[in-house]
Structure 1
Amino acid sequence: MSDTTSPTDKEGRICEHCEKVGQYPTCEQCDIPLRDGHLRRAHTLEKADQTFTCNQCSDSVPLRHHDPLPATGDRELCPPCAEDFGVCDHCNLYDDELRSTETGRELCPECAIELDYYDCEVCTTLIDSGTYCGDHRDDDADDDIDGLHGYSYKPTPVFHGIGPCYLGLELEVNVPYGHLSDRISDTDDILNGLGYLKEDSSIDYGFELVTHPMAYRWALASFPWHLLDQLDLAGCSGDGNGLHVHISRAAFAGPCHVFRWMKFVYRNSSAVQTLARRSSGYAAFRDSERHNIKHSCKGTYCAPRDSAINTQPRHTFELRVFASSLEIRHVQAALAFADASVAYTRDLTVTDITARSGWTWTTFTQWLRTRPQYAPLTAELEDLACAC
């Protein structure tokens, strides 16, 4: 067979020389080398009519243009969307929530859990041993400097009021420069053992006020609410910071109750964020967490710590959505929502959901109006004009 400019003849076969040197033709659409002309035509025709749906942008992408790129969570991505993702160094799948280890590896959340990595006590670097990453290994997290404890300080909890629903308040407070020692001393005196103050890397200059677990009714009656007014008068603020509420896992009747509660919060994310006065990446409502609620309840999925509901603590769920504030009603409304949402979803039935719009924010706010103990929340909702 004589040499030609093409490695194939009209039947799609290749000459002995081209076969010997591996000069195979390629698919005109995807550039895959194909040895046989008939196979080449079949391959091209097969891909011509097939598409896949990108799980990120929802576009339908012809396979003759691109093969799907595999991502975590059984997702498939088109190449433009994959540019915003990284590749996990363990499973080699694309992921948009990669975490860095102190050795420089980038891991998806699932692989981090599988490989027994966890957070450094000071920052978000993943470590597989000890308490701190290399940058913070010399930190003494238990130092008590002028009443301010290290980030990892966790005393034995002291429970106040009648459970089983106990709430733990974490309030991030900014302090005017030069006045930290005085504000720590004043706050410690007023708390009188009900809580303690901790360092937190998200606060430029100030502290995180953490309470021991309190029943909601006990908190309304016995927490020293005048402390917030005093901090405000001293020039402190919650601006730019967060207010987190820990809810005891013992408050839930079981996994189905947890499912109903999480589902309710995520389904009403817009109204919850309006109530919380912020939408933040530190308390994110992600589709991945919403889609995995069932697995979270079973303990087979662990959402990132910065999710709207942090499920990582062993004994609590951390509701992270609220903006910090020194206004008493804002803080009381946050505690009220935590308690009320758990109570509301405890006895929510399938009939309530399907026939009585039980998932909706409107039905929840109507339920609130018949329960005067949640007056701070009702008043806050009316002011925010998000009660229907």
Structure 2
Amino acid sequence: MNSADTESGRSNANRGLAPLTCSCGRCGRPLAYEDRLMLAELTVCDACSDAFSLCVDCNAWTLLTELDAENSCSACRQATLPIQAYAYKPEPVFFGTGSKLFLGLELELNLEERSCDLPTLAGACLQILPYCYAKKDRSIRYGFELVSHPATLNYHRTAWSQALPAWNRIRQTHRFCCAGQTGIHVHLSKAFFSAAELAKLVYFCNQPTNRDFLAAIGQRPLGHWSRSEAGGIKQALSGEYDRYRVLNCNPAATVELRLFNGSERWEDILKNLEFADAIGHWIKQPDCRPGCDYRHFLAWLLGNPQPSGGYACLSDFIRQHIDLL
């Protein structure tokens, strides 16, 4: 190597130029840097590039072994599956107008028999309720959780009313066994409440005099999955409690009512949604104080005139079950 070559090499190094060679990330053989190909974030040679192809859905370079017969990658296939993984949490899409309180429904669906094809059933549910998605849940023996995007109470009503004929046909075809084995959870948007109003809601859900009322509304005893325990408002609001409480404050953007018994009946689902909406609006009333118990809520709900939202299903349920309180 002459001095000219040495000086040239030093000059290239000083300028920070790329090395003249690199290695293929699949076969390991060296190749000229300018001949390299970057596929799926991997440096490969021309020969190894034949092991890759474009996904037809996301247009990303993918190993052929990870593509299906339609040239769709595993990530895109997973995104189109009717039943998502337990950790699946898409970006929320908000549905409905006329109210600043958005409700998210979590409906745990359990089946008696394993003869049902769950992806087919989930696909049928999502076809009639397109603002929902389905995901796995570890507490469900054989089934899935039907989860809605956040929506106003009126949007939920309209969507389910339109889907109800098809939903009832699904119920007649498949043998659900939700009651006593699963739950219904309703999320309320945290942004709807001030800090003081959230504190009143926590107090209401943990006040001893309200426990029988909450159990009657939820149609199941309060227990391991939905405990009501006095005190600890500060801890509840800071997310220091575990989530298995009547009111779970741990989610970043919502609070979750967990008291409801599982059911696939629309009447029960609507009653639960109406209760979540009603309690959320009642908490914001000027005369609702931290010491208020369920009798103040009932006086407001059943008063004349009724609240402008209209909670007919909830009101009828309370009138029929008032002897339980």
**TM range, smaller chain:** 0.5 to 0.7
Q: What is the identity, as a one-letter code, of the residue corresponding to 2:107?
A: L
Q: Distance in 2 between matches of 1:227 and 1:310?
A: 33
**1:330 shift after superposition:** 0.9
Q: Distance in 2 between matches of 1:256 and 1:295?
A: 14
1:213 is the counterpart of 2:167? no
Query: SS of the residue aligned with 1:283?
Result: coil
**1:231 shift after superposition:** 3.3
Alpha-carbon spacing, 1:177–1:203, altered in 2? closer, same or farther (3 Å): same
Q: Residue 150 of structure 1: which of 85, 107, 111 is its match?
A: 85
Query: SS of the residue aligned with 1:336?
Result: helix
1:385 is the counterpart of 2:322? yes
**1:181 shift after superposition:** 3.3
**1:221 shift after superposition:** 2.2
Q: Residue 240 of structure 2: which of 302, 305, 308 is its match?
A: 302
Map of 1:21 onto structure 2: none
Map of 2:169 onto structure 1: 230
Q: Pairwise CA RMSD of aligned residues?
A: 2.3
Query: Aligned ranges for residues 122-141 of structure 1 at < 5 Å?
Result: none
Normalised TM-score (structure 2): 0.67
Q: Distance in 2 between matches of 1:302 and 1:373?
A: 35
Map of 1:331 onto structure 2: 269
**1:144 shift after superposition:** 5.4
Alpha-carbon spacing, 1:145–1:159, altered in 2? closer, same or farther (3 Å): closer
Map of 1:86 onto structure 2: none
Q: Distance in 2 between matches of 1:283 and 1:227?
A: 32
1:365 is the counterpart of 2:303? no
**1:228 shift after superposition:** 4.2
Cα deviation per residue 1:172-228 (whole Å; 9 max; x = unaligned)? Answer: 001331212331221121112x00100011111101000000111221123334454
Map of 2:196 onto structure 1: 256
Cα deviation per residue 1:311-360 (whole Å; 9 max; x = unaligned)? Answer: 111000111110111111111111111111111010243xx549xxx712
Instruction: Tell whether the 8 Å contact from 1:274 to 1:386 is kept in structure 2 after alignment.
Output: no
Q: Distance in 2 between matches of 1:153 and 1:178?
A: 26
Residues paired across the two proteins, number: 236
Alpha-carbon spacing, 1:189–1:262, altered in 2? closer, same or farther (3 Å): same
**1:150 shift after superposition:** 0.3
Q: Distance in 1 between matches of 2:151 and 2:177?
A: 23
Query: SS of the residue aligned with 1:177?
Result: coil
Map of 1:271 onto structure 2: 213
Alpha-carbon spacing, 1:201–1:144, altered in 2? closer, same or farther (3 Å): farther
Instruction: Tell whether the 8 Å contact from 2:103 to 2:152 is kept in structure 1 after alignment.
Output: yes
Query: SS of the residue aligned with 1:158?
Result: coil
Gaps of 5+ in 1: 1-139
Query: Aligned ranges for residues 1-388 of structure 1 at < 5 Å?
Result: 143=78, 146-162=81-97, 163-175=99-111, 176-179=113-116, 180-192=118-130, 194-223=131-160, 224-226=163-165, 228-234=167-173, 235-239=175-179, 240-252=181-193, 254-267=194-207, 268-279=210-221, 280-286=223-229, 290-297=230-237, 299=238, 302-349=240-287, 353=289, 359-369=292-302, 370-371=306-307, 373-386=310-323
Instruction: Tell whether the 8 Å contact from 2:203 to 2:231 is kept in structure 1 after alignment.
Output: no
Query: SS of the residue aligned with 1:366?
Result: helix
Normalised TM-score (structure 1): 0.57
Instruction: Tell whether the 8 Å contact from 1:263 to 1:293 is kept in structure 2 after alignment.
Output: yes
Instruction: Tell whether the 8 Å contact from 1:174 to 1:238 is kept in structure 2 after alignment.
Output: yes
Percent sequence identity over aligned pairs: 27
